A and B are shown apart, each in its own frame.
Chain A
Amino acid sequence: MSLNKKVLGIIFANMHEEVVPELTRERTMGSVLFGGRYRLIDFTLSNMANSGVDEVGIVTKSNYQSLLDHIGSGREWDMARKNGGLHLLPPFSNVTSGIYRGRLEALYGVSDFIKSSDAEYVIMSDCDVAATIDYNAVFEAHVKSGADITAVYASSNLTLESAAHSNVFGIDESGRVNNVMINPQISGECNVSLNIYVISKTLLMSMILDGAANGIYSFAKSILQARCGDYKIMGYKHEGYFSKITSVKTYYDANMALLCTENRKSLFNDEFPIYTKVLDNPPAKFDIGAKVKNSLIADGCIIEGTVENSILFRGARVGKGAVVRDSIIMQDTVIGKKCEISCVITDKAVNISDQKILGGSKNYPIYIGKKAQI
């Protein structure tokens, strides 16, 4: 970190997975596939790596096989380190940890890990947001403002549905959070929390121990909301592209938003590369007769048909004469010859045999589960 203060990163891999039960049936929120070649955890983990946070704990709860596969030793994020580096923190890993009910309880479960770090500050993040954020800037703002907690938010036009899965901040002229609404029944332009917080380790530890002693487990409700006036909670506004996943529909929209050049420039920026697991795929191949328009294509794809307004993950295949529109085709999915696919999300390794016609609509894309054979 630029101010020569050590910062410990804590990532919650499972938080919010109930909002996309289809996508998280066999994986954590952090390992949900996103943007053609990524998993959601890649964004916050890369932000940490790019901001010099080189000691990171990933708190997980269940269903974490795919997360372990993806993260490995943390080498791709330059976090396979002798000092610091990446630590996976599954439940039941020590005497205080079990299945947690909220963020404070989860932190209590890993309190030994936090205590053992010599960092002065902690940055916490969930995995439901894809955004490129300079955590250094957040941290600098935190130190400068003398805040107890700095919370990252973004301005967003919320629907009733997405607000029901979000926390919304009221923010005064000085940038201080003066009101915290949890899953509110509102819609319109709001300061939506991105669930990224900077806090000093000492203060966090006292909150954790206090919470454990008093049976308090929710950070949002019992700290941010209940003690909004006691603590100095400062907002840090993220400008530029972000997507917060609150449903399969918002997941679909967030991916599709990457077809817009401005959003891509904001998320994929040369100075803040997004790291992910390397699969050693060859380049994508476009056959004779392929027609591809306005699409994101990852390496290893072989395209013989038509692809429009779609996202193809690594190793996807589109057969001759097939037409894929407005769809998200995840890793290793095979779409047979002369298929017609529109507004469909196929999970990993789906196999759609020749001449099938599948269609959803943009406000209700069809989801096809992992390894389905159609």
Chain B
Amino acid sequence: MYTRKECVAMLLAGGQGSRLYALTQDMAKPAVPYGGKYKIIDFPLSNCVNSGIDTVGVLTQYQPLVLNDYIGNGQPWDLDKQYGGAHCLPPYQTALGAEWYKGTANAIYQNIAFVDRYNPEYVIILSGDHIYKMDYNQMLEFHKAKNADATIAVQNVPIEEASRMGIMIADDECNITDFEEKPAHPRSTLASMGIYIFTWKKLRQYLIDNENNPDEDKDFGKAIIPNMLNAGEKLVAYTFSGYWKDVGTLDALWDANMDILNPTIPIDLYDPDWKMYSRNPVLPPQYIGPEATVENSMVSEGCIIDGKLDNSVIFEGVTVEKGAVVTDSVIMTGSVVKAGAVVEYAIVGENSVIESGAHIGARPESCENRDDWGIAVIGHKVTVSEGQVVGAKQMIPDVKKK
């Protein structure tokens, strides 16, 4: 029969990403486009493949249609396997009834049978919320070398950011001694990245115990990790110092896109040794017209650029007409910026149309009060009518108000 898998990945991809508002109305956060041709989930998936992990359960719940379609049989990531590969795992009905995933831990609990099929020694828990390139295999080696029951990837963050994150307190040997969720007065700067490696046998038992205790949250951060700590299990912190960004807010998503254009920021998508895989569109090369100017930008297949682009990330099949100006912005797949329109400091979703003369977004220096400034956002399949002005921080459709 087949050999067992050493390590199986479980990717939590059911999150709504509610703070991405207009962009996550009909898709889950991991399906949000990023970086000209990717979706956020391409990063953990590609990391898995590049780390030699070939069995990935993708746990979907919120608006799974886009994600299920995107993952398909996993072929774009080489995850179409006879044994293993990528599997979308939505909540399902059992003889005892049906229920939603009630939390991160419950989502894994409901899929114990999936993991058991591969009889793995270890399980790595990932989320589809972050942009980063990481060799999970090194983390696994660390877990083994430390003989740990759980290894939590952490990043050293500035102390002022620590109170917004889950903070690990660890000794010199990397042993985690305590854990605090969003502490007012952080005792450490090691923030959890939401990446966990567990020895499966241990985790399996903690998941069952957690499920059987109706008073507990069904969540890794709130229940499983504290429970393991209290029981004296060996938890270690694995420090990762590479680029890692939560793209949970519109500003952060915009920032992370701008990071690719910044040569001093180490998120190199062109590294042949750590390829980022994605589902590729079938489109011809992009055409840059005779009067176009394109500087410090990324542009994808199928685009037709006749206007001016500066410091922007342009997804596949976007048209920027003559006389249109796009600066410091992200324009997603299939959108059109018509002649004379201006888009600055903005995110434009998929298949939207910016009619001529419209003006989206504003430069930070144009706002008297810096707090009034923020990027402008146009959702998916929106038409911004001729001459319409969408100011800084505004959003169409304005789902915040609902």
Please give the residue numbers on chain A whose beta carbons come within 8 Å of chain B beta carbons, in ascending order: 35-37, 75, 259, 261, 264, 267-268, 273-275, 278, 280, 282-300, 302, 311-312
Which chain B residue shows the least CB distance to A286? B294
Q: Is the CB of A291 within 8 A of B285?
A: no
B189 interface contact, C-beta 8 A:
no
Q: Is the CB of B276 within 8 A of A282?
A: yes
Q: Contacts A282-B276, A283-B37: A35 and B285 contacting too (C-beta < 8 A)?
A: yes
Q: Is the CB of A37 within 8 A of B294?
A: no
A154 vs B271: C-alpha distance in the bound complex, in angstroms? Answer: 45
**Interface stretch of the complex, out of B89-97, B296-304, B321-329:** B296-304
Residue of B275, B285, B287 most packed against chain A (CB within 10 A)? B285
What total of A-B pairs shows CB separation below 8 Å?
Answer: 102
Q: Which secondary structure dominates chain B's binding surface?
A: loop
Residue of A37, A284, A287 most packed against chain B (CB within 10 A)? A284
Which chain B residues lie closer than 8 Å to A75 at the CB level? 75
Q: Is the CB of A283 within 8 A of B289?
A: no
Q: Contacts A286-B299, A297-B299: A37 and B269 contacting too (C-beta < 8 A)?
A: no
Min C-beta distance of A126 to chain B, whole Å? 22
**Which bucket holds chain B's interface residue count?**
35 or more
Which chain A residue shows the least CB distance to B316? A283
Q: Is the CB of B285 within 8 A of A297?
A: yes
A292 vs B308: C-alpha distance in the bound complex, in angstroms? Answer: 11
A267 vs B284: C-alpha distance in the bound complex, in angstroms? Answer: 9
Which chain B residue shows the least CB distance to A317? B270
Q: Is the CB of A293 within 8 A of B290?
A: yes
Top 9 A-B residue pairs of the complex, sorted by shortest distance between their CB atoms: A36-B285, A283-B36, A282-B269, A268-B284, A283-B300, A298-B285, A273-B282, A294-B290, A283-B298
Q: Is the CB of B286 within 8 A of A297?
A: yes
B3 interface contact, C-beta 8 A:
no
Q: Contacts A280-B277, A293-B289, A294-B290: A286 and B297 contacting too (C-beta < 8 A)?
A: yes
Please give the residue numbers on chain B whose beta carbons come within 8 Å of chain A beta carbons, in ascending order: 35-37, 75-76, 269-270, 275-278, 280, 282-301, 309, 313-315
Min C-beta distance of A326 to chain B, whole Å? 13
Q: Is the CB of B36 within 8 A of A292?
A: no
Min C-beta distance of B382 to chain A, whole Å? 21
A35 vs B282: C-alpha distance in the bound complex, in angstroms? Answer: 14
Which chain A residue shows the least CB distance to B311? A288
Which chain A residues lie closer than 8 Å to B314 at the CB level? 283
Which chain A residue shows the least CB distance to B36? A283
A312 vs B301: C-alpha distance in the bound complex, in angstroms? Answer: 12
Q: Is the CB of B36 within 8 A of A282?
A: yes
Min C-beta distance of A332 to chain B, whole Å? 10
Min C-beta distance of A302 to chain B, whole Å? 7
Which chain A residues lie closer than 8 Å to B298 at the CB level? 282-286
